[in-house]
Amino acid sequence: MVYCGAEDYYIFALKPDGNAVWSFGTRYLLESSPTIGDDGALYFGSEDSYLYALYPDGKLKWKYKTEYDIDSSTALALDGTIYTGSGDGKLYAINPDGTLKWTFQTKYSVMSSPAIDANGVIYVGSRDKKFYAVNPDGTMKWYVETGSAIESSAAIDKDGTIYIASTDGKLYAIGKKMEIYP
């Protein structure tokens, strides 16, 4: 199955031959890619400020309203927690049942998709020029400043080095000891 959003505010489930299996409509654009859970559920945000969870058959499982639009894709933790950023400057942690677990506030919108390491630490960039490491309980572990807004998602390599790009045109590498290599 292939899942994709379209400019008509719908997300589609497509067979490999391109035929639609189902569609689900929101009221606004879908700027992010859906994430698929172990149970086949789909998680995605929309510019209508909702984080959606759909059953594999395309029916609504739940939706959670944030305070602003969601351009970030979601990340799923091993315990089923769903993480997403929002234009309200928050990183949201949502329980598998669609209830709020916690939020982490930055100073500007969070457009980048969260990344999670093997220890459950969540990494996310913000348009406030900071890249954050957030513990699974929602407390800040650390942050580093870049030269400009961060709108792209982080990548974590096998040795734990974190790579992020900033709108200043630089790629940053953050080592285990938090050395920054611009």
- pLDDT, tens digit only, all 182 positions of the chain: 899 888 789 999 999 999 999 999 998 888 888 999 999 999 999 999 999 999 999 999 999 999 999 998 999 999 999 999 999 999 999 999 999 999 999 999 999 999 999 999 999 999 999 999 999 999 999 999 998 999 999 999 998 899 999 999 999 999 866 555 55
Extents of the domains making up the chain: 2-181
* Other beta carbons within 10 Å of 105: 11
Distance (Å, rounded) from C-alpha 25 to C-alpha 9?
6
Report how far apart, in Å, the C-alpha atoms of 36 and of each of 39, 117, 180 are. Answer: 8, 18, 33
CATH class given for the domain over 2-181? mainly beta
pLDDT at residue 57, rounded to an integer:
96
pLDDT at residue 104, rounded to an integer:
98
The 10s digit of each residue's pLDDT in 94-108 is 999 999 999 999 999
Under 8 Å between Cβ of 100 and 64:
yes
Distance (Å, rounded) from C-alpha 73 to C-alpha 95?
16
Under 8 Å between Cβ of 68 and 109:
yes
Place of tokens 């309203």: 65
Distance (Å, rounded) from C-alpha 54 to C-alpha 91?
21
* Other beta carbons within 10 Å of 23: 13
pLDDT at residue 177, rounded to an integer:
63
Strand order in the sheet with 20-25: 2-5, 10-14, 20-25
Which pairs count as long-range contacts for 96-100, CB under 8 Å and 24+ apart, including other chains? 97/62, 98/53, 98/61, 98/62, 98/63, 98/64, 99/64, 100/64
